[in-house]
Structure 1
Amino acid sequence: MIKYYNEAIETLDRERLRLLQQERLVKQVHILYEKVSFYRNMFDQAGISPAMIRTVEDLQLIPFTKKDALRDNYPFGLFTLPRSAVSRLHCSSGTTGKPIVVGYTQNDLDIFSEVIARSLVAAGCQPGMLMQNAYGYGLFTGGLGLHYGAEKMGMTVLPISGGGTEKQLMLMQDFQSDAICCTPSYALTLAEEIRKRGIDKSKLNLRYAVLGAEPWTDSIRTQVEEGLGVTATNIYGLSEIIGPGVSQEDYEEKGSGSYIWEDHFYPEIVDKDTGEVLPHGQQGVLVFTTLSKEAMPLLRYWTNDITSIYYDKSAKRSHIKMAPISGRADDMLIIRGVNLFATQVEAVLEHISELSANYQLVVTNSGLMDEVMVRVETEQVLYEALGRECGDALGHDKIKTAKQVLQKKIKDSIGLSMQIEITAPGLIPRSEGGKLNRLSDLRNKK
């Protein structure tokens, strides 16, 4: 049984690891200054030059890169190479209709597969096992990322993608899958369906669950492990840095944090208000600098994820660990693995004349899955006109059609199915001088 995918680098002495980081950082900084106008302007405006960045400690001289930079340079403005030299494009959701675009050279894809392979071995997977990959394939980085990483480390991959619970369970039984990759909430759904259908877990071969793309807790871990009969570990990543595989929990060290593969991704924790770098062990915003990416390297990328980092003296690897994500420094929600901002719904509403711009998103957890309801008012003038016509404006065919259109547009543009509640004007909270909170998160208020 193998314990490492790349033992030499995963157990590399920390002094040698730091030298490798600094060598790669210096190279990245010079390339970005030369090739990407956004970074050249950032350096010039900050009064710094690439020659001033010699060690990882010098990163503190560089301003943060935030998500706005990716939106403002849509689609290819942050690439260091012409688009024709890029092997693959992926996208993640942003706050408007335009996605966040990331690019990969073939070498980037090889690194992506390598860190996934490391992660899967850390999760307990072994060459020859069958991986049931229930992450979504397509523009989302999860499905293809796990697919190629699993193949690289010698697993057989079942590319079933997300959803289709009936078929998931059938193939899980018929093919005797050893491991599954999916979101924690979907793992709970599978566990619940196994219970409902009376499937005998002892007849399943499932042993490991690699879960990510949304925050989860030890309580969920316990439910998944008991419901599926597996050992469940956390995989973390974000498309802007590479995708899943930025960090991974070891199945033998559960609860002690996830290894960050810091030969490729240098982490910092900073104060969310001041940006000051915080000591190891303190909570703050997680910031990453890519050290080896070719197509779209990023310096000091502000993830908005709140966590802490620390070295574990008893760990089997030399790389730093990160604690579970405890929250977000912005108002983004992660629903069933999809990034969601209220402004995305707002952008859809702008194109439906029957409905008001006054809306609210209500997030609940009914059963096992996070659910979002969009509560939106009808447009006042139309409501009055239809009310006079039929006595019940909300039951009018125009309103019913608007509801269906909104539901479809949200699904098409954001990738989530949401419930829709159409109300009469005046029933949704208004701002009373302060900032209006469009989100009502009821998941932790039971």
Structure 2
Amino acid sequence: MNLLSATTTIAAIATPPGRGGVGVIRISGVNSLNILQQLTHSDRDYPPRVAILSSWLDDAGDVLDQGLSLYFPAPHSYTGEHTVELQGHGGPVLLRALLERLFQLGCKPAAPGEFTRRAVENGKMDLAQAEAVASCIDAATIRAGKQAQLQLQGAFGHHIDQLMQRLTSLVAHVEASLDFPEEEIPELFFDQLAEDMQRQLIFPIRAMLDSAALGERLFDGATVTIIGAPNVGKSSLLNAMAGRDRAIVSDIPGTTRDVLEVDFEVHGIPVRLADTAGIRESEDQIEQEGVRRAHQSAEQADAILFVADATRPDTWHCKVDADIYLMNKCDIGRGGYPDHFILASATSGSGLAVLRDNLATVLGDVEIADESMLVTRERHRQRLSEALHCIETGMQTLHDEERLEITAMQWRSAWMALGSILGIGDVEDILDQVFSEFCIGK
């Protein structure tokens, strides 16, 4: 832990801005208990983890607010330091006045994520668990929330730690070979080492990387743009997928002029679905702009859903490379549709379950035996990719005794790349980057 953190007591409001029934202020640092005693104008003892009804006073002895005071002595606290929580009324004026009083008593304003950063620096959690704290806050679906909880409990970090232990063992064999160059090492030794590296590290890391598309989208979400000719039922489809009437539906072609978006989820993935103007030639300048925006939305989307009208074969041809092709209005069509279309009806709801399954597949949803191994952050994916590259580069010189030092060097670099996921090694810059994205009070 750095010296400044060890000597500084910080405070921040831990509940969201705005009015609420309860507001919480956190204090963490060596002087937490002393500051609480000054705040209450009392030198009473505060039993650990016991809620005490308290009046919090200004310097003149007037009551600022009244609520529950809880004291968590080090190391049995969230940050690993002496910590105090003040649970008072959720009015922003009262909370701000109380916080200003704490600053008068010697607290410093907490930086974004500083409480969780101190928890990492004091060994209460690894860096992957700290990132999971932010993921718990940001989760937009139950599936994402459950995934965040798995990581917060340390499941993902445990897998990374296992990879590091395996790599340490395998590197040790190479280091031993370098320490005793006079010993003749049988080729079978290197063959077995290569096999172990493939089975114990390369295959598991590749499997984790294969899950990254799904894992990242669980939290970042995905955008899907609906395109097609006018009046094929794009707006009806958007309403059916969203479960509410969000778009105006009309038999008049060209009703949709701008990009209209709704949020929903498919297999636990947050999806923003965009309805666009029907693509056709038009003299109407407003409709031309709508068509331009439709193309722009499609270019920026994670997936494109092309919709055609089962009763109008002239709408069946798609001029862009779509990810999913849907034949709408099949309940009144006559058949003979191209094989690559999903058959559906936005009005009756038939085929929409199949559409959802296909959307999930296009967006990266795959069957995973152990979801605790899911890679949900770009930083983790980058470090795993770096580790895999170093491992495979080291494999290239494994059977060359004169270049075995290169193998050892590459595998040590792979260990450092994995370690940076957990916050092991010289990772000060990584800590700055990670916690800059946190909210103040967490």
Task: Say whether the fold is shared (TM-score over 0.5).
Answer: no
Q: Which has the higher strand share?
A: 1
Structure with more helix by fraction = 2
TM superposition score normalised by structure 2: 0.21
Tell which has more relative contact order, 1 or 2 (C-alpha 8 A, sep 6+): 2
